[in-house]
Structure 1
Amino acid sequence: MDTQLAAYLLSAAVKVSGLPPVPVESLPEFIPMPGSMLKAEACKEKVANCRGIVALFDMERNRVLYRDDLDVDDPSDNSFLVHELVHVLQYAQGGDAIYKDCPSLVQTERAAYAAQNMYLHAQGQLLRVGRIMQFARCAPPPGTTAAAHEPMTH
């Protein structure tokens, strides 16, 4: 992916997420790869259970991996890179704390999907992603009841 597109997508990620920008020079390397290799990278020992992975931010190696069949010039496809760039921005602001526990991980993912959907909407795309996150729940901490951690409804 070229630097100009990366800068554009970073700008979009900043705009839709509301997070502070990072210098374009500090962006991770973007690496396209076949879907099977991406699954192996993302899911390590549970590749059979890993479906639908399109892109991921590898914070340990400072790189964004994405399926090589994505059309990075198409907003529906590059929205997944915007999602990962939101993770880059989140990580720049919060470090490892964004993944410290299940509630932090769920919050991080929900925010990235919300930003991705805002980007898609701004690009005139009808696609919406991440709906499954509305059902994401974390196990209650040991010694507490599950009911104490369910969202309240009225």
Structure 2
Amino acid sequence: MVCRRDRDDAGAGRGRARRLPGGRADGPLDGSVGFIGVYYGLQDPVIGWVTHEFHSVVFGFVFAGLASLLPTRYRHKVWPSVAVGVAWGFVLWVLAAGVVSPVWLRLVGIPARIPTLSVMLLLTHLVWGLVFGVLVPLGYRYLVPALARLSGTE
């Protein structure tokens, strides 16, 4: 994604290089996440971030449900869960970001092409799936037993 600032520079690479020190990732930090509030009729970036995090939590619960379908011998292992997580991230990229999002935008009167698929969105969704793929089996392994001990149901 090339922003206006990049096109205005004499050397387009300078604009991209300026973003590197801040560790800026194009997808989540370029304003597109803040834009998600538009789906709900609000153009406030804070609402966009809150709703995006809400969507992430909902999809995270769906992922945890999918991970619970893994055979018991794989449920506490990271690599099978990572495979499911990356696959789930890919599905979300295609369906949620690629199709549902632009359809929703059209429904609220904002033109969008269908599908809307970009490499940056793919990478961010795959990383999201990878992170959940690592954390869920660790939760099964360490958090669930600890909570059982705390509640006395062990």
TM-score, scaled relative to structure 2: 0.33
Structure 1 or 2: more strand by fraction:
1
> Which structure has the bigger radius of gyration?
2
